[in-house]
Amino acid sequence: MTKLHLRFLVSCLIMFTISHLLMVSSRGPIYKPPSVERLTDRFRSTPVVGKMTTFFGASNINIKSNGSYADIILDKTSGSGLVSKDKYHHGFFSVAIKLPMGDTSGVVLAFYMSNSDVFPHNHDEIDFELLGHERRKQWVLQTNIYGNGSVKTGREEKFYLWFDPTQQFHQYSMLWNTHHIVFLVDNIPVREVIYNQASSSIYPSKPMSLYTTIWDGSEWATHGGKYPVNYKYAPFVASLGEVKIEGCLVTKTNSTSTGSCSKSSTLLTSDPVEGIEYAKLTSQQTIGLNWARSKHMFYSYCKDTSRYKVLPPECKA
């Protein structure tokens, strides 16, 4: 091998290394997730059309695979979304989602629970919000909860994902019971809100519907609204499936009930996640939670002293 060839190979290797580092740095450091229990395996999947129906933007919803999967689409005409046919008080709620590729600045994909239709100014929410970014940048995961409040009383935390969410389906799950609320991504807990005296005022307590929506969040989603949706890259198509909804079902005649799930109740079905195995995280799950928060969380309202001159009580608990 001549010196010229050797120099060429070395130059190529350097360029490859630099480009790889730039790619990694643009998405943040890539860490291998720890092994955790597959909580999703405990619950059975159901077709999208079995548990959910059109919320808005019917023309931008494509049902596929005999109802097992669906595409929800955002374009210049409209966003779109699905809503559960029933309301639930506690339970396990999960969906596998593949996000749109390319320049997705301003695009918001939300998987969340809410009762704003019943309590418009005093409602509860448990939110996953996936926030699009400008080209060659990663999506951001935002989690949020509030009870008996509004968007002004949210408790946001933001994470960088450890994978490319546009290449394949990934599972986003919520566990909600009287003990805690757990947000999980591919079965790894990224956030736990424990019910106690400090958190009781913000802890969701009323039955909620489950939603999956895609919409234009240009005013705030990407760098505080710096990058709005560029419809040159539309349509933005999110695919979802592997829906798992097992909760304490609330009858329509009791849709505003705030009572606990009980096997003896005539208005509420039994709670599938109230057992001791769902009361706290396992040691593996705790390791996963600490990993996600130390390696991938980049914003927590509990550390936002410019927003809160006095931190909320649950931040000090």
What CA–CA distance (Å, rounded) separates 8 from 31? 32
Find where tokens 């593949």 sit.
98
Does the annotation count 125 as an active-site position? yes
Give the other-Cβ count within 10 Å of 9's Cβ.
11
- Select which of 37, 129, 192, 242 is catalytic: 129
Q: 57 in the Ramachandran plot: left (φ > 0), alpha (ψ -120 to 50) or beta?
A: left
Q: Which position among 37, 125, 134, 192 bears the catalytic label? A: 125
Distance CA 182, CA 273 (A): 12
H-helix or E-strand containing 117?
A: none
Residue 64's SS3 state is strand
Nearest-angstrom CA–CA distance, 263 and 270 = 5
Reading the block at residue 60, the tokens are: 């931008």
Residues with a known catalytic role: 125, 129
